Structure 1
Amino acid sequence: MDAPQETPRDINIDVVIIGAGPSGAIAASLLHQQGKQVLVLEKQHFPRFSIGESLLPYCMQFIEQAGMLEAVEQAGFQFKNGAAFRHNGTYTTFDFTEKFTQGPGTTFQVQRGQFDKLLADTAVSQGVEIRYGHQVNDIDLGQNASSTSILTVTDEHDSVYRVTAKYVLDASGFGRVLPRLLHLEKPSNLPARSAIFTHIEDNITDASFDREKILISVHPSQKDIWYWLIPFSDGRCSVGVVAEPHLIEHCQGDLKEQLWQLLNEEPGLKALLSNAKVLQPCASLKGYSANVSTLATSQFALLGNAGEFLDPVFSSGVTIAMQSASMAVETLIKQLDGNEVDWQQDYAEPLMQGVNTFRTYVQAWYDGRFQDVIFYDDPNPTIKQMICSILAGYAWDTNNPFVKDSERRLNMIVDLCRDHNKAS
């Protein structure tokens, strides 16, 4: 007979973090380093499947900041040094070591189940407490902006307890716990798109295929449809397609059949993946872009996808998650130490500066402007380095003109590329 499960007791804590993914693990580690009492509540058990497998080099400094770099470097993940783009036979690459901004120029392509568990396990080894199978069902922010918050939590045995916290960080990703509970959801200004994806044993025999880069392919006739192919170190790949729903409605069958029909419409991918074997059921995400009315107050902050998610095209999700974790912790430490902070000025606005830089390039990708720049056959080396910095994740470097004045600078280059192509 199994021993009875002990009911978790109500606790008081400095900071409660909802979610143990990359932003939650990084934030927990950084807070623990500063001597703050932190508890992480994670609804699922790790490892668990997630997409967002192609990291950006900018992430590496946050991993190092959290004391997790050695564990990540020794885990055997696929080395990554850039990104490759292909459309109708045109192939171009960006080497992230040849970028405008100082900082790491290489990173890894990771199976997120293993990667997220590694970060979480490393945080635990540092002294962080993570409770798996614990779901936040309600939150009471109290009577005023200086009140402690009370979270109602259910564990996997349906035992209910309460956590009283001075501050709450929502790192719940697509679960978006606080936006749901506090009615913060706001429509995204990006069109609704769908993604279909899976993991495969790729069996790629083409010697020219570069496993050290993510491959972004564009549909030969529909520029709004694009594909990712992310190689892993074990002969597997993550593969997916993204499009507005009406562009894939012609596909018949289940998700696997739909995905493969779309993959076969891109000749390069059809050839590369001719011997591929699907390893797990295909999955889909629909209408994934998200926004909120409030990113942070004196009582809570939203990290990563819990706050805003743009699009997977430039692999910005984990980068934004880690950046938000670092920025939120820096502001929170000041508040917990009794200093006056302005969460809008100190956290939300600086965070959104980089998010909006990514947004500029996401929107320009889908309307074709940025594709014209990427596939331009005679790029200016300095300008390519500046754009390469953004693709490598350095979207907060305001010394980069293509960050500081992203829309105007991009449009200037688009006009030059298009004028040159017309003339030739």
Structure 2
Amino acid sequence: MTDRWDAIILGGGPGGSTLAASLARLGRRALVLERETFPRFHIGESLLPRSREVFERLGLDEALDARFLRKYGARFLCSTTGRARTYSFADAFEPRFEFAYQVQRDAFDHLLLRHAAALGAEVREAWEAVEVMFEGPRAVGVRARPRARGAPDAAPEQAAAASAASSDVVELRAPVIVDATGRDTLLASRMRRKAQLSELDKTALFAHYEGVPREGGIDQGNIQVVLFEHGWFWFIPFRGELTSVGAVVSSRWIRTRRRGEGLDELFDRTVAESGWARDFLASARRVRPVSALADFSYRIDQLTGDGWLFVGDAGGFLDPLFSTGAHLAIKGADLAATAIHRALDAGDTSRAAFAGYEAELRYAVDLFLGVVQGFYRGQFRETLFEPNQRPTMRKLITSMLAGDVFHAERRPQWATFLRQHYPPDLPVFA
């Protein structure tokens, strides 16, 4: 009996949608199970230019350009010293993609999911994966059920117990199962080991504002990263009046939260710690309550197995300093589609068939990770603002900021330099 699908993808975010669209474009039958109903709010709103390689191939770039604000670079500002430095993507070693997009994720994710369906993927929203089915070590399918629209989220253990007992649960089979469930890490939480990353025990506080001042000209879409004593702020402008504002702060700062202090009050007190942030928000109006995500950086010990693999945040997440989350999900999904297509052609969906995918994704993630850890330790922070910065160093930093971190065929000298000077501090899985 032939399986109805070539791959079942759990999660319809940027990773899952990109994978489904890429597989459909390759003539493969993909099923996406997304537990929520789109559109829905999400953070991770600043994209990187090299994601546009995938958007162009999928026929999405024009639709994105018509809807979202272009981002030509990144501006870093230091609250302690008053220093400021802008990096323009056009200065990268390979500058073909000189801009990215600033996106409201509800609209962006919805567009990606609908595009995957338009290309031929089967998309089921409000469908909940209960568990991945295994025969020995091999993933062979998924038990899933439709979710009541607008039903409140239950604790994972309660949801699993209720789902397992429900007569609505159905078994869906495919030779490849992909966990793209984001921070929910459905499969990883149940069968793989997860570890926090050194230097990255941070908390993000975030909201949306209107009336935040912006730079002029093509720089109006730049992300602004404001450094201060307890962490850093992001200011991500969208087309129109809205700006996403967040603060990524140390666990030490979070421990200063006062009894009874709400997140809005804590965020306002955090803003007061930075002159730049105070100035940006002096005349702005908060239009979305402050939310928080704690200890959000983690690594999974294994990204692939027999008949299964992880895509996007389900396989690990880095600090959002360089806006890497959506980029790694999108580019990783594109790599995964090629790996799955080749594995199905060869009739071999073992872990060995996905070894190249895992190695290339690890290389890209670890390139970012070492620099992020170097930033928090202080060395890379100084490099960002170095007054007599050499042109080659500027190009090196810009290329990294543009997301040029996937180098399967040829690893450029500048990437080797980064890896040597900022090696990642990886957790040890015993």
Q: TM-score by structure 1 length?
A: 0.88
Query: 1:86-140 deviations in whole A, cap 9, x for unaligned?
Result: 0131110000011012531211101111110011111112222111111111112
Q: How far apart are the structure 1 equivalents of 2:249 and 2:414?
A: 26
Once the 2 structures are TM-superposed, how far is the Cα of residue 350 of structure 1 from its aligned partner? 1.2
**Match of 2:97?**
104
Question: Which piece of structure 1 moves more, 124-133 or 307-316?
Answer: 124-133
**Match of 2:308?**
300
Aligned: 1:370 with 2:380: yes
Q: How far apart are the structure 2 equivalents of 1:271 and 1:251?
A: 23
**Match of 2:398?**
388
**Match of 1:51?**
43
Q: How far apart are the structure 1 equivalents of 2:199 and 2:28?
A: 38
Q: How far apart are the structure 2 equivalents of 1:177 and 1:14?
A: 20
**Match of 2:33?**
41
Once the 2 structures are TM-superposed, how far is the Cα of residue 174 of structure 1 from its aligned partner? 0.9
Cα distance change on mapping 1:313 and 1:74 into 2, 3 Å: same
**Match of 1:235?**
241
8 Å contact 2:73–2:219 — kept in the other structure? no
The amino acid of 1:195's aligned partner reads A
Once the 2 structures are TM-superposed, how far is the Cα of residue 263 of structure 1 from its aligned partner? 1.1
Q: 1:350 aligns with which of 360, 365, 384?
A: 360
Q: Secondary structure at the match of 2:130?
A: strand
Alignment of 1:11-90 (within 5 A): 12-75=4-67, 77-87=68-78, 88-90=81-83
**Match of 2:153?**
none
Question: Which piece of structure 1 moves more, 210-219 or 150-159?
Answer: 150-159
The amino acid of 1:243's aligned partner reads V
The amino acid of 1:109's aligned partner reads Q
Query: 1:174-208 deviations in whole A, cap 9, x for unaligned?
Result: 11111023244334344321110011113437769
Q: How far apart are the structure 2 equivalents of 1:209 and 1:226?
A: 24
Q: How far apart are the structure 1 equivalents of 2:92 and 2:218?
A: 23
Alignment of 1:2-401 (within 5 A): 12-75=4-67, 77-87=68-78, 88-145=81-138, 149-157=140-148, 159-204=168-213, 210-219=219-228, 222=229, 224-252=230-258, 253-338=261-346, 342-343=352-353, 345-397=355-407, 398-401=410-413
Runs of at least 5 residues in structure 1 that lack an aligned partner in the other structure: 1-10, 412-424
Once the 2 structures are TM-superposed, how far is the Cα of residue 345 of structure 1 from its aligned partner? 3.1
8 Å contact 1:86–1:217 — kept in the other structure? yes
Query: 1:227-264 deviations in whole A, cap 9, x for unaligned?
Result: 10001111111001112221233244211111111112
The amino acid of 2:235's aligned partner reads L
Q: Secondary structure at the match of 1:329?
A: helix
The count of aligned residue pairs is 395
Cα distance change on mapping 1:205 and 1:114 into 2, 3 Å: closer
Q: Secondary structure at the match of 2:90?
A: coil
The amino acid of 2:242's aligned partner reads R
8 Å contact 2:199–2:376 — kept in the other structure? no
Q: How far apart are the structure 2 equivalents of 1:126 and 1:339?
A: 24
Cα distance change on mapping 1:344 and 1:156 into 2, 3 Å: closer
Q: How far apart are the structure 2 equivalents of 1:192 and 1:264?
A: 22
Q: How far apart are the structure 2 equivalents of 1:31 and 1:367?
A: 41
- Percent pairwise identity: 28
Q: Secondary structure at the match of 1:357?
A: helix
Q: How far apart are the structure 2 equivalents of 1:260 and 1:285?
A: 17
Query: 1:274-299 deviations in whole A, cap 9, x for unaligned?
Result: 11111112110001011112101231
Cα distance change on mapping 1:153 and 1:206 into 2, 3 Å: closer
Cα distance change on mapping 1:213 and 1:203 into 2, 3 Å: closer
Q: Secondary structure at the match of 1:353?
A: helix
The amino acid of 2:420's aligned partner reads R
Query: 1:137-157 deviations in whole A, cap 9, x for unaligned?
Result: 111221354xx6121112114
Q: Secondary structure at the match of 1:51?
A: coil
Once the 2 structures are TM-superposed, how far is the Cα of residue 343 of structure 1 from its aligned partner? 4.1
Q: How far apart are the structure 1 equivalents of 2:396 and 2:183?
A: 31
Q: How far apart are the structure 1 equivalents of 2:214 and 2:323?
A: 26
C-alpha RMSD of the superposition: 2.0
